[in-house]
């Protein structure tokens, strides 16, 4: 027997040994791990992630990064009707209609957008999931009542819903967040319910039931964790929607009235009056909103693709 | 006589009945994906089918039998797929033929029945339209005549109340009815070649037998050439004249049906036969499954792909030891074999001893 | 089919009832309550008390609700605090403009979106494909009102190609029949009036239609890519059908199913977007009225308009469901 043969022989033996085993599903790679691996290979995901990370870093360190005080009306004296000074030394993006440094306002404004986006989405996720789990876990009349309620909320176009809530709660940043959150609730409620119903008939839940495991443990220990990936995907996408919707509410005069907190949506709506004088005042905050919304959307879509078992290979 | 022989049919050779309907020569299919190693799904497959003959392509899922059938029909996607070799339908070369020409042949001269009748039927179009559209495409026919012909076709494949069924949608039919409807569409223009890709796999056992019987009546008896793609040896035993066993993209054994069942030579074929539970075996006699799955293969270039799972494997099953790849060779009249250490049988008589040795 | 429609109509009843409860509660929960809502923010306490007595607001809540419901069924939502006119009258006067605008936007979104999405899928991986994917992502991420301002600034203010505000040139003294200005112009054969009203739709319509366009492109593209790989398309090809037949009967027909559902959902987006777009273009429809009502704290108008828009939205979705039933036979039997 030749030496080469020995090497080859060992290779066959290895394969033969494997052949003797019960074939493993995915070679033992967990869903999250393989999803992460696929995310890293996806340029769209990387672009989205980079945008989101930059946004988060800017928001976190905004006071350190902003070159000037976003509220100081430094160049107020130079503003005349029909003229707002543009880019100049010390003010790379120029100033707004009150002579405040635009760059600093954009940097600090990221915090407010992040806060509104995260808080409203979290609220929407928590309430929506609670309703969805309630409907999905109990079924029957609970399901009917909850889903009718969700249908009613869904029957009002989302911005009109947000307007009603905002008008009701008065004009402050919390009412803004709650208004946006309410429009997100039905989405998550339906998502969770659908996912739980789909799993209720699945073999592993039946198996768990057959083993006599209590319903609460099945729901919280098995079904809920398995429903989380679509929720994560939807939440990422909802962050984008929330930031855009916040801008729309600002435009309608339902935004945060506290002028001490620069916010992209409010900056954009204010700038509409000076569009013919200095369109940049509108364009910069708009670009910020678009890029951040795009970042969350790209990341969300890439996550969806990575977590969807249909795409797994 | 071998107990495995179900029925005595005169062995038919492709050359005997004049020109074969289908000649496949050295067919190869390679999938090339961006950023991935090209994979060769079908490699050097050759066979032919005579009029009225039924040829079986047998193997586990993933062995390349379905890809072979799609390549013959020209239904593989154009992008990312390379098809080599030659496929001739009545002498006409199909590989590299323009799309227009192929569309003229498909449905008219060669037709195909697929595995899953539900997903293979368009859910939003009535059955009737799906039958008549073949007729209207390939035959000069008025719409009215096409409907009449479609009714006749559904009746012929055993669908009761055909004029009502024509107006129904696929989801309103049972699984067996759907497969009958698909067969009706395939036979609408009396093709000279029919390829059936696992036509009974998705069906209940009782329905399976009916569909096979239908294929035998409508296809075999009318002289249409039939290529039967299956992993089910029962289907082979009941229908096929000649059998090609495929493994990992290549044919590893070819024989007439009863030769194959009586004396399988490739250990893989032997394993397939031994895996089937038998009524005439001793009660409690153990089954002999093949180890592992079709994924545990080595590339043909490095040796016999089946070697890792094979009980007869020796060192020279590897290219590096033997100096050449394992060839498909003449193995007695009407038989071909790709194996260096085949199952051996005592000279005569065959019969019980033979099947014993196959184990 | 008829039973399907009737069942869907019956399913609307609880939703509409729920809606009315919600909006009834909304008005009660407002600071100052309905009296303030009706009389405006500067109403005197005496006036409020008189109003409460007059409209039975001192009675138990369920009595009040039933009365509200009774009036709502007759489309009576009280009078606007700003103009003093009945809310329903204002709504009916302004709705035609919004319908014209949303129709234009939807025709634009569907007319451009479906062919573009289909082409993108057919040329999967080409520059057209990548451009439409990137473009549709951008379209969804852009705030509607910003896009509206941009379009107005560029095409109306700077270039002056198209009108940038209103529904029709004031100088044109057009005859009004239906308040659908384009339709009125056609009915009265005042062609210039119809054409002018149409031109006034273009910019706001495009601004409004951009998000639905982006979504329709994406859904169509994804759906066509899915359907092309379906077994029944392979069957159709195996039958040797002409490429055009395969595409028309087997690919496009099935690919449009998810698109048609999306189109129904887009109506909500359109009605939301109309509030923003109409405001930017000073387009006298329902949307700009809502904007005015927010600023004037005209709650009667807000309540009535939101309720009626919600009903419109629900009805449109019903229509979409029914048309879905026509497209997909599998839904009908359920």
pLDDT at C58 over 60: yes
The bridge status of strand B39-49 relative to strand B22-31 is antiparallel
**Mind listing the pLDDT tens digit for each residue in A254-293?**
877 776 778 888 888 888 777 777 788 888 889 999 999 9
Contact B124 C238 (CB under 8 A): no
Touching partners of A (3+ C-beta pairs < 8 Å) = B, C
Whole-number pLDDT of residue A75: 64
Provide mean pLDDT across the span A106-110. 87
The enclosing domain of A159 has a CATH number of: 1.10.3720.10
Scanning every residue of chain A, which has its alpha carbon at the shortest distance from the alpha carbon of C269? Answer: A157
Instruction: Give chain B's mean pLDDT.
Output: 83
Question: Which of the two residues, C72 and B196, has the higher pLDDT score?
Answer: B196
- Identify whether the C-beta of residue B132 lies closer than 8 Å to the C-beta of residue B150: yes
Lowest-confidence range among A207-216, B171-180, C89-98, C180-189?
A207-216
Residues of B in contact with C232 (CB under 8 A): 119-123
Question: CB distance from A298 to chain C under 8 Å?
Answer: yes
Whole-number pLDDT of residue A16: 54
Q: Please indicate, yes or no, whether residues A251 and A161 belong to a single structural domain of this protein.
A: yes
Question: CB distance from B315 to chain A under 8 Å?
Answer: yes
**Mind listing the pLDDT tens digit for each residue in A40-89?**
777 778 888 898 898 888 888 878 877 777 777 776 666 666 666 667 77
Percentage of chain A lying above the pLDDT 90 cut: 8
Whole-number pLDDT of residue C101: 92
CA nearest to C267, candidates A158, A9, B64: A158
Contact A18 B292 (CB under 8 A): yes
**Mind listing the pLDDT tens digit for each residue in C192-233?**
888 888 888 999 999 999 999 999 999 999 899 889 888 999
* Angstroms from A303 CA to nearest CA on chain C: 16
Contact A294 C269 (CB under 8 A): no
Q: Is B35 exposed, middle or buried (0-12, 13-18, 19+ CB in 10 A)?
A: exposed
Q: Please indicate, yes or no, whether residues C219 and C303 belong to a single structural domain of this protein.
A: yes
Tell me whether 0.90 is exceeded by the ipTM.
no
**CA atoms in the 13 A half-sphere facing the CB of A232:** 15
> Which residues have a Cβ under 8 Å from the Cβ of B175 and sit 6 or more positions away?
B117, B118, B202, B203, B204, B207
- How is chain B split into domains, by residue range? 22-240, 247-353
Three-class secondary structure of residue A40 per DSSP: helix
Q: Please indicate, yes or no, whether residues C118 and C264 belong to a single structural domain of this protein.
A: yes
In residues, how long is chain B?
359
Q: Please indicate, yes or no, whether residues A1 and A101 belong to a single structural domain of this protein.
A: no
Scanning every residue of chain A, which has its alpha carbon at the shortest distance from the alpha carbon of B297? Answer: A15
Both structure tokens of B145: 């005549």
Q: Please indicate, yes or no, whether residues C233 and C148 belong to a single structural domain of this protein.
A: yes
The CA distance from B72 to B83, in Å, is: 10
| Domain assignment of residue C7, given as a range | 2-73
Percentage of chain C lying above the pLDDT 70 cut: 95
Instruction: Give chain C's mean pLDDT.
Output: 84
Provide mean pLDDT across the span C241-260. 88
Q: How confident is the model at residue C105 (pLDDT cuts 50, 70, 90)?
A: very high
Whole-number pLDDT of residue C116: 94
- Identify whether the C-beta of residue C236 lies closer than 8 Å to the C-beta of residue C281: no
Cβ atoms within 10 Å, residue C295: 12
Question: Which of the two residues, C70 and B246, has the higher pLDDT score?
Answer: B246
Residues of B in contact with C243 (CB under 8 A): 99, 103
Provide mean pLDDT across the span A103-114. 86
Residues of C in contact with B129 (CB under 8 A): 249
* Angstroms from A159 CA to nearest CA on chain C: 5
Question: CB distance from A277 to chain C under 8 Å?
Answer: no
Say what the alpha-carbon torsion angle A187, A191, A197, A199 is, to the nearest 10 degrees: -170
Q: Please indicate, yes or no, whether residues C203 and C315 belong to a single structural domain of this protein.
A: yes
Whole-number pLDDT of residue C208: 92
Lowest-confidence range among A89-93, B182-186, B243-247, C58-62?
A89-93
- Neighbouring-strand partners of residue B81: B31
pLDDT at B27 over 90: yes
Q: Please indicate, yes or no, whether residues C183 and C282 belong to a single structural domain of this protein.
A: yes
Contact C241 B129 (CB under 8 A): no
> Which residues have a Cβ under 8 Å from the Cβ of C301 and sit 6 or more positions away?
C80, C81, C82, C87, C90, C289, C290, C293
Residue C43 falls inside a structural domain: yes
The CA distance from A102 to A288, in Å, is: 12
Provide mean pLDDT across the span A200-215. 75
- Point out the residue among C238, C250, C333 whose CB comes nearest to the CB of B122: C250
Instruction: Give chain A's mean pLDDT.
Output: 78
- Point out the residue among B75, B125, B133 whose CB comes nearest to the CB of C238: B75
Q: Please indicate, yes or no, whether residues C289 and C212 belong to a single structural domain of this protein.
A: yes
- Identify whether the C-beta of residue C13 lies closer than 8 Å to the C-beta of residue A150: no
CA nearest to A136, candidates A208, A214, A215, A204: A215
Provide mean pLDDT across the span B184-201. 89
Mutation for B interface: A2, A3, A7, A8, most B CBs within 10 A: A8
Whole-number pLDDT of residue B1: 38
Question: Which of the two residues, C35 and C104, has the higher pLDDT score?
Answer: C104
- Identify whether the C-beta of residue B241 lies closer than 8 Å to the C-beta of residue B49: no
Q: Please indicate, yes or no, whether residues A23 and A104 belong to a single structural domain of this protein.
A: no
Provide mean pLDDT across the span C93-114. 92
Whole-number pLDDT of residue B221: 73
The strands making up B193-197's β-sheet, listed across from edge to edge, are B110-113, B193-197, B225-230, B54-58, B242-247, B250-256, B336-337, B329-330
Residues of B in contact with C254 (CB under 8 A): 122-124
Q: How confident is the model at residue B14 (pLDDT cuts 50, 70, 90)?
A: very low
pLDDT at B350 over 50: no
Whole-number pLDDT of residue A122: 93
pLDDT at A103 over 50: yes
Whole-number pLDDT of residue A160: 87
CATH placement of domain B22-240: 3.40.50.300
Touching partners of C (3+ C-beta pairs < 8 Å) = A, B
In residues, how long is chain A?
313
Whole-number pLDDT of residue B229: 92
pLDDT at B257 over 50: yes
Q: Please indicate, yes or no, whether residues A162 and A75 belong to a single structural domain of this protein.
A: yes
Q: Please indicate, yes or no, whether residues C112 and C234 belong to a single structural domain of this protein.
A: yes
In 3-state terms, chain B is what percent helix, strand and coil (to 5)? 35, 20, 45
Lowest-confidence range among A110-114, A150-154, B263-267, B288-292?
B288-292
Residues of B in contact with A12 (CB under 8 A): 298, 303, 307-308, 313, 317-318
Whole-number pLDDT of residue C214: 92
**Mind listing the pLDDT tens digit for each residue in A129-166?**
899 888 877 778 888 888 888 888 888 888 888 888 88
Lowest-confidence range among B85-89, B101-105, B338-342, C264-268?
C264-268
Residues of C in contact with B75 (CB under 8 A): 234, 237-238
Q: Please indicate, yes or no, whether residues C127 and C27 belong to a single structural domain of this protein.
A: no
Question: Which of the two residues, C117 and B36, has the higher pLDDT score?
Answer: C117
C-alpha torsion sign, points B151, B152, B157, B158:
positive
Q: Please indicate, yes or no, whether residues A124 and A5 belong to a single structural domain of this protein.
A: no
Q: Please indicate, yes or no, whether residues C131 and C47 belong to a single structural domain of this protein.
A: no
Q: What phi-psi label fits residue B40: left (phi over 0), alpha (psi between -120 and 50 degrees) or beta?
A: beta
Q: Please indicate, yes or no, whether residues A175 and A306 belong to a single structural domain of this protein.
A: yes
Q: Please indicate, yes or no, whether residues A71 and A156 belong to a single structural domain of this protein.
A: yes
Q: Please indicate, yes or no, whether residues C207 and C238 belong to a single structural domain of this protein.
A: yes
**DSSP code, position A91:** B
Question: Which of the two residues, C192 and B240, has the higher pLDDT score?
Answer: B240
Residue C57 falls inside a structural domain: yes
Q: Please indicate, yes or no, whether residues A35 and A52 belong to a single structural domain of this protein.
A: no
pLDDT at C334 over 60: no
Lowest-confidence range among B8-22, B191-205, C182-196?
B8-22
pLDDT at B71 over 90: yes
pLDDT at C161 over 90: no
Provide mean pLDDT across the span A289-313. 77
Both structure tokens of A293: 């919304």
Q: Please indicate, yes or no, whether residues A211 and A139 belong to a single structural domain of this protein.
A: yes
Peptide bond just before B349 cis, omega within 30 deg? yes
The enclosing domain of C192 has a CATH number of: 1.10.3720.10
Question: Does the predicted TM-score (pTM) go above 0.90?
Answer: no
Three-class secondary structure of residue A307 per DSSP: helix
Residue C86 falls inside a structural domain: no
| Domain assignment of residue A28, given as a range | 1-41
**Mind listing the pLDDT tens digit for each residue in B228-239?**
998 888 888 888
Distances (CA, A) of C203 to A270, B171, C199: 22, 46, 8
Number of domains in chain C: 2
Q: Please indicate, yes or no, whether residues C110 and C68 belong to a single structural domain of this protein.
A: no
Distances (CA, A) of C42 to A24, A169, A257, C45: 75, 20, 22, 9
Q: Please indicate, yes or no, whether residues A144 and A273 belong to a single structural domain of this protein.
A: yes
Question: Which of the two residues, C57 and B70, has the higher pLDDT score?
Answer: B70
Q: Please indicate, yes or no, whether residues C45 and C117 belong to a single structural domain of this protein.
A: no
Mutation for C interface: A167, A287, A305, most C CBs within 10 A: A167
* Angstroms from C241 CA to nearest CA on chain B: 6
Number of domains in chain A: 2
């Amino acid at each position: 027997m030749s030496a080469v043969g020995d090497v080859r022989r060992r290779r066959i033996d290895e394969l033969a040994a494997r052949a003797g085993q019960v074939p493993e599903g995915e070679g033992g790679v967990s869903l999250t791990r393989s999803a992460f691996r696929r995310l890293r290979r996806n340029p769209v995901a990387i672009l989205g992630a980079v945008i989101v990370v930059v946004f988060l870093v800017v928001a976190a360190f905004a006071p350190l990064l902003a070159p000037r005080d976003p509220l100081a009306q430094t160049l107020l004296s130079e503003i005349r009707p029909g003229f707002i000074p543009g880019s100049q030394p010390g003010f790379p993006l120029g100033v707004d209609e009150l002579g405040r440094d635009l760059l600093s306002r954009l940097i600090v404004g990221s915090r407010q957008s992040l806060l509104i986006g995260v808080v409203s989405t979290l609220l929407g996720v928590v309430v929506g999931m609670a309703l969805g789990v309630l409907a999905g876990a109990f079924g029957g009349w609970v399901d009917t009542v909850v889903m009718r309620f969700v249908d009613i909320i869904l029957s009002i176009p989302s911005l009109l819903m947000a307007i009603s809530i905002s008008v009701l709660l008065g004009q402050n940043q919390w009412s803004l967040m709650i208004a946006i959150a309410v429009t997100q609730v039905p989405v998550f409620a339906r998502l969770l319910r659908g996912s739980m119903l789909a799993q209720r008939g699945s073999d592993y839940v039946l198996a768990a039931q057959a083993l006599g495991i209590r319903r609460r443990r099945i729901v919280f220990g098995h079904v809920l964790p398995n429903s989380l990936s679509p929720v994560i995907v939807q939440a990422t996408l909802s962050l984008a929607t929330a930031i855009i919707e916040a801008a729309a509410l600002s435009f309608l005069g339902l935004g945060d009235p506290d002028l001490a907190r620069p916010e992209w949506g409010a900056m954009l709506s204010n700038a509409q009056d000076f569009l013919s004088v200095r369109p940049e005042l509108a364009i910069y905050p708009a670009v910020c909103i678009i890029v951040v919304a795009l970042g969350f959307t790209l990341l969300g879509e890439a996550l969806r693709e990575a977590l969807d078992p249909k795409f797994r290979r | 006589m071998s107990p495995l022989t179900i029925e005595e049919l005169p062995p038919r050779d492709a050359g005997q009945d004049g020109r074969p309907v289908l000649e496949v020569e050295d067919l190869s299919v390679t999938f090339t994906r961006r950023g991935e190693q090209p994979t060769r799904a079908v490699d050097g497959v050759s066979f032919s089918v005579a009029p009225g003959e039924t040829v079986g392509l047998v193997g586990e899922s993933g062995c390349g039998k379905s890809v072979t059938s799609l390549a013959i029909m020209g239904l593989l996607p154009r992008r990312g797929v390379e098809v080599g070799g030659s496929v001739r339908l009545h002498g006409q070369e199909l590989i590299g033929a323009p799309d227009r020409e192929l569309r003229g042949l498909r449905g008219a001269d060669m037709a195909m029945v697929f595995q899953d009748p539900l997903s293979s039927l368009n859910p939003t179009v009535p059955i009737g339209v799906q039958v008549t559209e073949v007729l209207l495409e390939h035959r000069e026919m008025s719409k009215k005549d096409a409907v009449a012909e479609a009714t006749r076709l559904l009746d012929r494949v055993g669908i009761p109340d055909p004029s009502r069924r024509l107006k129904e949608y696929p989801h309103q039919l049972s699984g067996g009815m759907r497969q009958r409807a698909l067969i009706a569409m395939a036979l609408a223009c009396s093709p000279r070649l029919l390829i059936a890709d696992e036509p009974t796999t998705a069906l209940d056992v009782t329905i399976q037998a009916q569909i096979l019987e239908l294929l035998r009546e409508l296809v075999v008896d009318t002289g249409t050439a039939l290529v039967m793609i299956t992993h089910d040896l029962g289907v082979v035993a009941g229908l096929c004249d000649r059998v090609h066993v495929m493994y990992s993209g290549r044919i590893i054994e070819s024989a007439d049906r009863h030769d194959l069942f009586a004396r399988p030579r490739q250990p893989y074929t032997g394993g397939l036969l031994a895996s089937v539970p038998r009524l005439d075996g001793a009660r409690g006699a153990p089954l002999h499954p093949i180890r592992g799955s079709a994924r545990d293969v080595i590339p043909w270039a490095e040796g016999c792909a089946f070697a890792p799972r094979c009980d007869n494997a020796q060192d020279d099953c590897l290219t590096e030891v033997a100096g050449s790849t394992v060839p498909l060779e003449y193995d007695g009249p009407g038989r071909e074999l790709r194996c260096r250490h085949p199952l051996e049988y005592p000279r005569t008589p065959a019969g019980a001893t033979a099947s014993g040795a196959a184990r | 089919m008829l039973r399907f429609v009737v069942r869907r109509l019956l399913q609307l009843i609880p939703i509409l009832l729920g809606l009315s409860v919600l909006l009834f509660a909304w008005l009660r929960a407002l600071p100052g309550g309905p009296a303030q809502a009706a009389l405006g923010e500067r109403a005197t306490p005496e006036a409020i008390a008189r109003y409460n007595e007059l409209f039975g607001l001192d009675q138990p809540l369920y009595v009040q609700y039933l009365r509200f419901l009774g009036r709502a069924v007759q489309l009576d939502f009280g009078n606007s605090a700003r103009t003093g006119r009945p809310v329903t009258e204002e709504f009916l006067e302004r709705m035609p403009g919004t319908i014209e605008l949303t129709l234009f936007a939807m025709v634009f979104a569907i007319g451009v979106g479906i062919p573009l999405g289909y082409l993108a899928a057919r040329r999967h991986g080409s520059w057209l494909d990548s451009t439409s994917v990137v473009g549709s992502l951008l379209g969804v991420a852009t705030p509607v009102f910003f896009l509206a301002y941009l379009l107005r600034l560029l095409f109306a203010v700077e270039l002056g190609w198209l009108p940038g505000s209103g529904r029709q040139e004031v100088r044109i003294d057009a005859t009004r029949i239906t308040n659908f200005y384009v339709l009125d112009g056609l009915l009265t054969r005042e062609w210039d009036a119809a054409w002018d009203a149409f031109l006034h739709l273009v910019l706001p319509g495009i601004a409004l239609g951009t998000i639905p366009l982006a979504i329709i492109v994406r859904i169509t593209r994804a759906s066509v890519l899915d359907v092309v790989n379906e077994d029944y398309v392979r069957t159709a090809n195996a039958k040797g059908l002409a490429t055009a037949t395969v595409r028309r009967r087997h690919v496009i027909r099935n690919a449009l199913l998810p698109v048609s559902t999306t189109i129904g959902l887009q109506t909500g987006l359109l009605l939301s977007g109309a509030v923003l777009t109409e405001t930017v273009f000073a387009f006298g429809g329902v949307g700009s009225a809502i904007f005015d009502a927010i600023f004037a704290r005209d709650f009667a108008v807000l309540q009535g308009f939101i309720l009626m828009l919600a009903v419109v939205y629900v009805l449109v979705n019903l229509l979409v469901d029914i048309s879905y039933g026509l497209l997909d036979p599998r839904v009908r039997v359920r």
